[in-house]
Amino acid sequence: MKTFSQFTAVFEAELKSYLREVGALVFVAVFPLFFSTLTYGMGTVLTGEAAPERWLYQVIGFGVMTVSIVLTSSTAWYFRRGMSSGRLEYVMAAPVSPVAILAAHSLANVLTSLLAFLFAGFVGTYIVYGLSKLPGFLLAAAVTFFALLPVVGVNLVVGVVTIVAKEPEPVANTVAAVVAATSGFAYPITLLPPVLQLIGMVLPFHHVVETARAAVMTSLSPTQLPILLLMMLYLVAGLAVYRYGENHYARKVGVSW
């Protein structure tokens, strides 16, 4: 009960902090619409074909991509700021579970990013399908929230690597580049070379975006839920790596609890 109270207190504080950053939230919400419209317009000019479903395909893809990259970047910077300010040592020494604090931070980040995804996806779905597909989009948003949990596990690993590398940009940028290139955000993953397809299929991001697209544009496949459940191993692995990194860093800086 005590841990839950600590979690809710940190979550509320983190959520308020994110919601105050209106400019960043607006950017995350508008970017998928802007960029997908740009690429769709270029494709229409080059091919002479105008298919609104292709535009929605990219709106959802760029929406999930933006959320994923924002989550990765914010996690890397969270650990970097914690190291530079001494907050990381304070959190480890405080009578509060570091995992509860990090979980509250991650959940607040996921929810605020999901708000931006809701806006872009809602607009795109309404323009292409009207009101008929909006229930499907709401289902897609719920499934996307569930599917983002494995991404939190990946980000925990990113946080530990940031502690080792001491700089967030190389870590976050490298992960973002790999994710953007292999996850099929803008085009089908089958167009990639076999090696990149394999990387995309192993990482959870491709499954997140394909599940969201299926919920809106076609229908969810019975095979998609088991895959998402399997991807939860990333969350388990991320927690294990984080606990190892936390213990190693605590011994290194001389923090005991």
- Cβ atoms of residues 30 and 24 within 8 Å: no
User: Is residue 255 one of the residues assigned to a domain?
Assistant: no
User: Is residue 233 one of the residues assigned to a domain?
Assistant: yes
- Cβ atoms of residues 156 and 238 within 8 Å: yes
Work out the mean pLDDT of the chain and round it to a whole number: 78
- Dump pLDDT digits (tens) for 154-174: 877 887 787 777 777 778 788
pTM, entire model: 0.81
User: Is residue 16 one of the residues assigned to a domain?
Assistant: yes
The whole domain housing 25 covers 2-249
- Cβ atoms of residues 199 and 175 within 8 Å: no
Q: Where are the alpha helices (DSSP H) in 148-232?
A: 149-165, 168-182, 194-202, 205-217, 224-231
**Token duo for residue 102:** 């990090």
User: Is residue 257 one of the residues assigned to a domain?
Assistant: no
The dihedrals phi and psi of 115, each to the nearest 5 degrees, come to: -60, -45
Q: Which residue has the tokens 């399908």?
A: 129
User: Is residue 254 one of the residues assigned to a domain?
Assistant: no
User: Is residue 256 one of the residues assigned to a domain?
Assistant: no
**Token duo for residue 170:** 């190389």
Query: Of 66-70, 75-79, 223-227, which range is least confident?
Result: 75-79
- Dump pLDDT digits (tens) for 125-163: 888 888 888 887 887 788 778 777 888 788 778 877 877
pLDDT at 82 over 70: no
* Number of structural domains found in the chain: 1
How many angstroms separate the CA atoms of 197 and 206, rounded? 10
